[in-house]
Structure 1
């Protein structure tokens, strides 16, 4: 009897010990529900993604026909990547949309002159404006839709006035450690921007002229330097005697972008002229993003 009791007690103790062992060596069941936590910290946008993507392939220059209903892209060494993407032409601050019409081939009568009278003979991309433009400049700046969306065109007025009393003079003297031989105000805008041309005192046979743009609300000077050496061959234009003809230098368009002033310039000479789109770099020095030369010398 006692043996049976002892065996039963031993069996119960073994069963209890086994249960305790299994319970201690098996972790409790995990709750498999996954909780998603949303990151509320704003993600920083890469500067490279936010940077302006404008390049010489997005812009160009054109010449109007006599009716000012069409224009043709002026040939240059850096063609736009897609001429059909060009969609606007500017006359001062006003943008006019246009559509691509055709690629015109050079005619047998083409004499190399890119003028309205010679329009039908010039090779290049032809565009049709949606409306006729009023009389104005024969040459104009073209760009794509993204340029039109990201830039603010500002009305500009040509001036030609002495600017010796401008505060810009003192700033230039300090920056260049040079007297200012001549300075002219050549353009103003409705936003009260000012554009100047200043000639530094010559150093030996080197001549330096500065193009300066200044905002009414920002003290920063945006500057482009024209440097050349003068000898018996003309420095700037035919028979100019080494003088920079400030009265001939034109500002066709002014654009505001990212607190900076971008310019479209025209510098005509006796036989042709230069058209340029210039934009400031991080040091506020203008660099030429696009340039074209047009030839109009009479036969």
Structure 2
């Protein structure tokens, strides 16, 4: 599924986005507590020191408070960022691998009584959020973007990334994945590649009795694979996302960027679903990806 097709695909359903997030996020109390703590950190409840910020910049550690998601209007020259504190601090928009444009905050836009609740180009003027103007150039219409502060990616090298409509991991890579996860790979597919050694894709593992379905976003590297795991449920029609038919496909994912720093690899991606897109920025921590920032863009058809 190409990106343009994915937009049409996810606009043909009327489902509940909160339920979608529930299915995608799970109900693990530990995760909920961690998420609440993250919000408190962003709000400044726990505070932070200048030295800690300097250390993060030196190592390339990404910070949630320096990033936010948004989307473009029909012209591709304006963005609507999801509501945030001090929106003027965001000066860059990342919309595709290696593609970054400068933006300038204009104003806060209030929710219109005529809003459809959708976060797309057709409801742009009625949706609530922060309006930004692209300083020079434009972005593809109705696109998801990642807004960033000027110093959000200090110490990062933005890597070239080639999306792939087909392809699979090598037998050697699958062997490493299966050895690490102690599960056989049932289905797999590539999202794209940085180079011969660095590929990004989706794998779904064979079911194990007594355990929930498991899939992973995987990035192969010379030192071994890096994983972000997705735990599913026993609903055959909504295993990973609402109305996914029990499937998780590589072409339902789009990559916004791939970077490398002293902290490791980082990926920004969009996971297209029936109702909308799950949006994430993740960063390597050992053999796993930690969550840095997440969002959800509701685009279900009316």
Same fold (TM over 0.5): yes
Give the structure 2 partner of residue 58 of structure 1: 66
1:169 match: secondary structure: helix
Please state how far the C-alpha of 1:82 moved relative to its aligned partner.
Answer: 2.7
Give the structure 1 partner of residue 156 of structure 2: 151
Matched, 1:258 2:262: yes
Residues 124-183 of structure 1: per-residue CA shift (max 9 Å, x gap) = 111111113253661111111112443222232211434253421111121122211122
| Partners of 1:128 and 1:48 in 2: CA distance | 28
Give the structure 1 partner of residue 220 of structure 2: 214
1:275 to 275, 279, 297: 279
| Partners of 2:295 and 2:158 in 1: CA distance | 21
1:187 match: secondary structure: strand
Once the two structures are overlaid, the 10-residue window that deviates more, 268-277 or 144-153, is 144-153
Give the structure 2 partner of residue 292 of structure 1: 295
For structure 1, the 5+ residue unaligned runs are 1-45
2:109 to 104, 111, 114: 104
2:95 to 91, 94, 97: 91
Higher normalized contact order (CA 8 Å, seq sep 6+, divided by chain length): 2
Residues 239-294 of structure 1: per-residue CA shift (max 9 Å, x gap) = 3332213221222211222162111111111111111111112x231122111111
Aligned residues: 247
Please state how far the C-alpha of 1:112 moved relative to its aligned partner.
Answer: 0.8
| Partners of 2:137 and 2:170 in 1: CA distance | 42
For structure 2, the 5+ residue unaligned runs are 1-50
Q: What pairs with 1:36-51 in structure 2 (closer than 5 Å)? A: 50-51=55-56
Please state how far the C-alpha of 1:103 moved relative to its aligned partner.
Answer: 0.8
Q: Report the RMSD for the aligned CA atoms in angstroms.
A: 2.3
**Contact kept? 2:74, 2:142, Cα under 8 Å:** no
